[in-house]
Amino acid sequence: MAEITYRRPEVSDAKNIVDFYNYVGGETSYLSFEKDEYPLDAAAQEAAIRELEGNDTNIMLLAMDGEEIAGIATISSTHKIKARHDGELGIVVAKKYQGQGIGTTLIKKLIDWARGNGVTTRISLDTRADNIMAVSLYLKMGFQVEGCRKNSTLLNGEYYDLYIMGMML
Ligand SMILES: CC(C)(COP(=O)(O)OP(=O)(O)OC[C@H]1O[C@@H](n2cnc3c(N)ncnc32)[C@H](O)[C@@H]1OP(=O)(O)O)[C@@H](O)C(=O)NCCC(=O)NCCS
């Protein structure tokens, strides 16, 4: 099993991050974007990484196998006063690294960071209800299913439900 290290991104990681998201978008249908549909290019990703520096309520965490990105998890929050306590979690682990505990470690680290940032008191996420691996991971970490958006994903002519999940810290 690969030795994985966890760290925040640097500006020089921007292209790798964009390539990673565009690649994993094609590996799984569970992400909101498909292959090559990741909305940022390398320049926009660099700017996004700069914005994270010193940001109390937004974070990106990379799981690295040497120079290769194995997984990425993020918490994104609005700056709006009434909603900034509620961070939205996003996570993806590349297929060849799944089932090794990387997703669990990424979420643990994000929860610890959120508990310590002085603002975030809740974490939210959406996931396809049939994404068994993700739903089990989130339940294991303490998230609850708070609601369901029926038929909110349409893929190859089939509708899928989305669970709204959340946890108070
Ligand atoms: C969901 C995802 C992030 C999990 O990452 P991972 O590194 O594979 O997760 P872990 O190895 O830490 O496993 C986490 C939990 O998933 C569950 N799990 C793992 N393999 C499973 C399987 N084959 N069937 C059911 N549940 C499984 C278990 O609850 C496991 O915890 P446990 O090992 O303590 O029992 C990863 O599968 C992924 O990126 N999937 C594609 C993208 C995606 O769905 N992202 C989430 C969108 S909301």
Query: What residues flank ligand 1, with Cβ below 6 Å?
Result: 28, 30-31, 91-93, 98-104, 127, 131-134, 136-137, 140
Q: How many Cβ atoms are within 10 Å of 146's Cβ, its own excluded? A: 11
Residue 158 confidence (pLDDT):
97
pTM for this entry: 0.96
Q: What confidence category does residue 91 fall into, taking pLDDT thresholds of 50, 70 and 90? A: very high
Closest CA to 85 of 64, 44, 43, 115: 115
Q: Tell me, what's the pLDDT at 39?
A: 94
pLDDT tens track for 33-60: 889 999 999 999 999 999 999 899 999 9
Closest C-alpha residue for ligand 1 atom 30: 137
Task: Give the pLDDT confidence score for residue 2 in this predicted structure.
Answer: 80
Residue nearest to atom 31 of ligand 1 (CA): 137
Sole residue written with tokens 């700069």: 50
Confidence of residue 26 (pLDDT cuts 50, 70, 90): very high
Q: Both ends of the chain: CA-CA distance in Å?
A: 32
Residue in the block written with tokens 């640097």: 10
pLDDT in tens, 97-142: 999 999 999 999 999 999 999 999 999 999 999 999 999 999 999 9
Alpha helices in the chain (DSSP H): 14-27, 42-52, 102-116, 132-141
**Confidence at 1, pLDDT banded by 50, 70, 90:** confident
SS3 content of the chain, % helix, strand, coil (to 5): 35, 35, 35
**Dmax of the chain from CA atoms?**
44
CA gap 37, 35 in Å, rounded? 5
